[in-house]
Structure 1
């Protein structure tokens, strides 16, 4: 069994006025790239990693990015960039992958980006069921000017995925802005409203980054 050395634990404890109660406490510890268990396989370069315990067991979530690289299919100098997120669970001393997220920009001849927003990988338990909800937020772009980037918030609970998709907000003149809109997918719209409220706050906090 791999022994991990964690940084100071981070406690996510969030009160939602719309519910009138607090969420279940989940204590999260960050993992340095060199301390990630060897059973955890990933592509790209590690952006962040966390671990916590809940009803599913001992959990690990990591995000990684490739950075930009030459597109094999392009003949015009296009480049690709990709990002990944993973969730693993340790059970009976065996670590198994629960889900994998993959997104990308391909064959871009302009400025390209596929990156997670800093400090947006985290875990909540807003429905108080003892199973953590994993959140990530990232942006994708292929632009040659000051334009909004594609932005997404993804929430997983177990293997169930929900997505919020839209654009970042950019200033195009002294008084004008572009972008900032978003939509929820069916999974988000079918879920309790406090999940959407939480996602909106997360979106607003990071919309101009």
Structure 2
């Protein structure tokens, strides 16, 4: 009986995983009628049991601060659109974060390849993950690190301060989580968010 139950469980998990289909999309292949701000960083087209979607991250890079050219600003955006044949993509949610009024060294970047799609709870509904750093600094100090996840309209975030690796030396300060909404999330989300934090916490200079 236990063997039969294990086989059934494996089949259920395989079916759930099969519901998520993903395809990285080059920026030149983005739909022409897609509306977004900034320059594309990474995009993934995916399909789950609720429909077809496009996840996109963009960033502006450093720009003059509006109204004061002595300062700089930079903006990050994340988007998820629902795709339907012959219909303009519908924006489902948008992330927007920024560094403003900065006259020092600025960091406002998505971590490379951090946009990812999972189905950790095996419900056939995709989870969309992004991670990025923000700072305005005049010395060797760590950036703010944020890991954001959406499953439909449900959002979780882990926020904190990363750590700096300068050469082969890791600075002592930083590495602190200041806010963790994953404490209230399903265990699979919580574990995965922790793994991403450990993966991204070090910032190389």
TM-score, length-normalised on structure 1? 0.83
Distance 1:67 1:150 in 2: 17
The alignment status of 1:178 with 2:173, answered yes or no, reads: yes
Superposition deviation, residue 168 in structure 1: 1.2
- Matched with 1:194 is 188
Note the 1:20-59 alignment, pairs <5 A. Answer: 24-25=17-18, 26-59=20-53
* Structure 2 CA distance for partners of 1:80 and 1:131, relative to 1, 3 Å: same
Which residue, out of 70, 73, 80, partners 1:80?
73
Q: Point out the structure with the larger helix share.
A: 2
* Structure 2 CA distance for partners of 1:175 and 1:102, relative to 1, 3 Å: closer
Q: Is the 8 A contact 1:79 1:106 kept in 2?
A: yes
Note the 1:145-184 alignment, pairs <5 A. Answer: 145-171=139-165, 174=169, 176-184=171-179
Superposition deviation, residue 40 in structure 1: 1.6
Which residue, out of 75, 84, 95, partners 1:91?
84
Q: Is the 8 A contact 2:161 2:178 kept in 1?
A: no
Which residue, out of 121, 125, 130, partners 2:124?
130
Distance 1:184 1:56 in 2: 30
SS at match of 1:51: strand
Long gaps (5+) in structure 2 = 1-12
Q: Which runs of 4+ in 1 moved over 3 A?
A: 171-176, 183-186
Long gaps (5+) in structure 1 = 1-20
- Matched with 2:6 is none
CA RMSD of aligned residues (A): 2.0
Q: Pick the structure with greater CA Rg.
A: 2
Superposition deviation, residue 151 in structure 1: 0.7
SS at match of 1:67: coil
Superposition deviation, residue 194 in structure 1: 1.8
Distance 2:86 2:115 in 1: 25
Q: Is the 8 A contact 1:167 1:182 kept in 2?
A: yes
